[in-house]
Amino acid sequence: MENWKFALSSILSHKMRSFLTMLGIIIGVASVVLIMALGQGLKNGIDDQVNKSQKNLNVYYKTKEEKKAEEDPNYYPTGESSTAGESSTAKAPDIQEAWVEKIAKDTKGVSGYYITNSTSATVAYGKKTAKNVNITGINKTYLSIKKFKIIAGRSFVSNDYIKFGRIIMLDSALAQKLFGGDTEALNKVVTLANKSYLVVGVYKDPDAGSSLYGMTSGGNAIMTNTQVASEFGVKENDQIFFHIDDVSQANRIGKETGEKLTKISGARDGLYENFNMDSIIEQANMIASMYTIAFGVIAGISLFVGGIGVMNIMLVSVTERTREIGLRKALGATRGKILNQFLIESIVLTLLGGLIGLGLAYLGVKGLTSVLKSQNIIPAISLQVVVISLIFSAFVGVVFGILPANKASKLDPIEALRYE
């Protein structure tokens, strides 16, 4: 314990020199921890996003030709489904909502469903316009599952689907853009494709601005799927989603609901299935890990440089304290005690640098969190990374302190006392 106190007092007696010596360690530890935190935040963001999307399984139609081409990269499509101008959606059966509802009730693990169709259009009010707005047509169960927050006005009711009233709901960002506020948008008439629609509600969509809607999206709005089908020439029940609570069952449920929908729809040229996200998650996490390791190695170089700085200053310290070492040896200090004294001083120096580096990394993570939170990336410093950083800092102290400590322990006491 006395050696640790002596080491600390020696470092504090040369504050500026000690700080400059620790600078490489500080930068190295801060960089490594920050990069690891970003990598962990990226992985968590990917997992959260996928888990969130996996709760709503999109069961879509795929032709037999497309299925064969997917399973065999060397397969070249021939036959009717490869004819120019035809697509898998053109051949997909017209799905009835009653079928989807029955499958949702009969499949274990499915807690609900919703159906959508979509288009995009320019939404205008007076002289203000919003281009490339995503218009999502929704069925009656959509809002109960997506749980959008209705900020102003009302949501759709049963009569809206029957009467084909030209009504629309805008997301908050679009309402702010066109009207300058949420409540200001209510009961105003906007224009889409030369048709007029009454704004009956404004909502908040947690996914607005994400890649789900495309990076060039000019905003988001929702209408009844019956109205979108009637006026924009798309299928009424185009995209089918089954809501589940346990994402670990996603692959089983996706396969089961796909098979049931294929059977009940009488599809002959293809089948319904859910895209398996496991390979995507694995690849995304692997890429995130590769970037983390690559940048971590680069940051680790500064730790190495910092270690050389520690070794250099400890050699200077040995030279400065040659007479002190000779005096200690003359009074009976063993070679092991001298070695421990300088080694502990080196370890304390790098540990202090590691602690300061951790503090800087923590501040960096706090700052990055506020910037990246909107992108669903929240950097996280784990306890494991903290412990490893401190152990590694101490290890650097041992590795680069052993040479100066060994030199000090080997000094001849008589020669050391004569040193000027």
User: What are the tens digits of pLDDT across the range 200-245?
Assistant: 999 987 766 555 554 455 689 999 999 999 999 899 999 999 999 8
* Secondary structure percentages of the chain, helix, strand, coil, to 5: 60, 20, 20
Q: How far is CA 178 from the centre of its chain?
A: 31
Query: Could you give the CA distance from residue 99 to residue 104 in angstroms, rounded to a whole number?
Result: 9
Average pLDDT over residues 317-337: 72
**pLDDT higher at 247 or 273:** 273
**pLDDT attached to residue 82:** 46
Average pLDDT over residues 90-94: 74
Classified as helix, coil or strand, 169 is strand
Q: Which of 71-85, 97-111, 239-253, 343-357 has the lowest mean pLDDT?
A: 71-85
Q: How far is CA 61 from the centre of its chain?
A: 29
Would you say residue 373 has pLDDT above 80? no
Q: Which amino acid is at 315?
A: L
* Dihedral, CA of residue 209, residue 210, residue 216 and residue 222, to nearest 10: -60
Residues 22 and 358 sit within 8 Å (Cβ to Cβ): no
Residues 150 and 200 sit within 8 Å (Cβ to Cβ): no
How confident is residue 277, by pLDDT bands cut at 50, 70 and 90?
A: low
**pLDDT higher at 9 or 256:** 256
H helices present in 96-224, as ranges = 97-106, 142-146, 158-163, 172-179
Mean pLDDT of the chain: 81
Tell how strand 110-125 and strand 128-138 pair up: antiparallel
What is the phi/psi pair of residue 246, to 5°? -105, 105
Average pLDDT over residues 263-284: 78
Q: Which of 40-49, 78-87, 92-101, 280-289 has the lowest mean pLDDT?
A: 78-87
Query: Could you give the CA distance from residue 57 to residue 273 in angstroms, rounded to a whole number?
Result: 10
Would you say residue 159 has pLDDT above 50? yes
Would you say residue 81 has pLDDT above 60? no
**pLDDT attached to residue 367:** 86
Residues 167-200 have pLDDT tens digits of 999 999 999 999 999 999 999 999 998 899 999 9
Residues 185 and 175 sit within 8 Å (Cβ to Cβ): yes
**pLDDT attached to residue 76:** 63
How confident is residue 268, by pLDDT bands cut at 50, 70 and 90?
A: confident
**pLDDT attached to residue 174:** 92
**pLDDT attached to residue 23:** 84
Work out the burial of residue 85: count CB atoms within 10 Å of its CB; fewer than 13 is exposed, 13-18 middle, 19 or more buried. exposed
Query: Which run of H or E residues covers position 9?
Result: helix 2-12
Would you say residue 351 has pLDDT above 80? yes
For tokens 């590795």, what's the residue?
399
H helices present in 180-219, as ranges = none
**pLDDT attached to residue 368:** 84
For tokens 């029957």, what's the residue?
162
How confident is residue 74, by pLDDT bands cut at 50, 70 and 90?
A: low
Work out the burial of residue 32: count CB atoms within 10 Å of its CB; fewer than 13 is exposed, 13-18 middle, 19 or more buried. buried
Percent of the chain surpassing pLDDT 70: 82
**pLDDT attached to residue 43:** 75
* Burial annotation 128-148 (CB, 10 A radius, 16+ → b, else e): eebeebbbbbbbbbbbebbeb
**pLDDT attached to residue 78:** 57
Average pLDDT over residues 50-75: 75
Q: Which residues pair with 153 in a beta bridge?
A: 201
Residues 6 or more apart whose Cβ sits within 8 Å of residue 85: none
Residues 369 and 379 sit within 8 Å (Cβ to Cβ): yes
Q: Which of 53-67, 204-218, 278-292, 383-397 has the lowest mean pLDDT?
A: 204-218
Would you say residue 89 has pLDDT above 50? no
**pLDDT attached to residue 83:** 43
Q: How far is CA 173 from the centre of its chain?
A: 23
Residues 15-49 have pLDDT tens digits of 787 888 888 888 888 888 888 888 788 777 776 76
How confident is residue 1, by pLDDT bands cut at 50, 70 and 90?
A: low
DSSP one-letter code for 187: T
Residues 404-414 have pLDDT tens digits of 777 777 766 66
Would you say residue 272 has pLDDT above 80? yes
Query: Could you give the CA distance from residue 377 to residue 233 in angstroms, rounded to a whole number?
Result: 38
Average pLDDT over residues 366-386: 80
